[in-house]
Amino acid sequence: MTVVLLGFMGAGKTTVGKILAHKTKREQVDLDQKIVETINMPIAEYFDKYGVEAFRKLETQVLKEHMDFPGIVSPGGGIILERENQKILKEMPLVVYLQTNLDELLSRINQDNDNDRPLVHDKAIEEIKDIYLPRVPLYEEIADYIIDTTDKTPEEIADMIIEIEGD
Ligand SMILES: Nc1ncnc2c1ncn2[C@@H]1O[C@H](COP(=O)(O)OP(=O)(O)O)[C@@H](O)[C@H]1O
Ligand SMILES: O=C(O)C1=C[C@@H](OP(=O)(O)O)[C@@H](O)[C@H](O)C1
Ligand SMILES: [Mg+2]
């Protein structure tokens, strides 16, 4: 069954998705990674050159290509913004929102040297809050399940999703 992980940047969509796929012997697709393979440059560079709207179009395209993916789908945190994506996500069988408080997200993002996230890079906390707060009700509305990740390890979160799938 297709499992989609939603959540803000730093929620663990990529990390938990990888562990969950490994534990359950399924494939994971990270939509950001698919986009990077297509554009052949880092996401931050693409944002600089072509802007956020162009990125959103690519994001919708790769989501459509993977809506029936038989495994774990880890999108970027902004996947819930486009109406078209919201519709697609609602049709997908199991959507889990990895809920995390903003302090914890900021601390995870800051220690993550593997990813440059242009929407939060060098931004003040108030600006990040302006991106985060309007997204929360969208994640909540679209998800079938919500897991509070704040004090949990990615392993524990993956195990919780396995339990949800078993129910
Ligand atoms: N539950 C967690 N507890 C602690 N650190 C985490 C957790 N989930 C993810 N991280 C760390 O936070 C950073 C961002 O994780 P990532 O999986 O890339 O998030 P996302 O794909 O949702 O933006 C990584 O450095 C990752 O190791
Ligand atoms: O929330 C967003 O708008 C974004 C999240 C990023 O992915 P992660 O959520 O995996 O960091 C990446 O798609 C891009 O930088 C934009
Ligand atoms: Mg990610």
Nearest ligand 1 atom to the CA of 108 is: 12
Residue with the nearest Cα to atom 9 of ligand 1? 12
For the chain, the domain total comes to: 1
| CATH assignment at residue 111 | 3.40.50.300
Nearest ligand 1 atom to the CA of 5 is: 22
What ipTM is given for this predicted complex?
0.99
Residue 153 annotated as lining a ligand binding site: no
Range of the domain at 148: 3-166
Residue with the nearest Cα to atom 12 of ligand 2? 76
pLDDT higher than threshold 90 for residue 147 = yes
Task: Give the integer Cα–Cα distance in Å for 97 and 112.
Answer: 20
Task: Give the integer Cα–Cα distance in Å for 13 and 20.
Answer: 10
Which residue, 32, 8, 16, 17, is CA-closest to 103?
8
Beta bridge partners of 96: 5, 145
pTM over 0.95: yes
Q: What is the pLDDT of residues 28-38, one digit of tens each?
A: 999 999 999 99
Beta bridge partners of 3: 72, 94
Q: What is the pLDDT of residues 60-108, one digit of tens each?
A: 999 999 999 999 999 999 999 999 999 999 999 999 999 999 999 999 9
- The dihedral built from the CA positions of residue 76, 82, 88 and 92, taken in this order, carries a sign that is positive
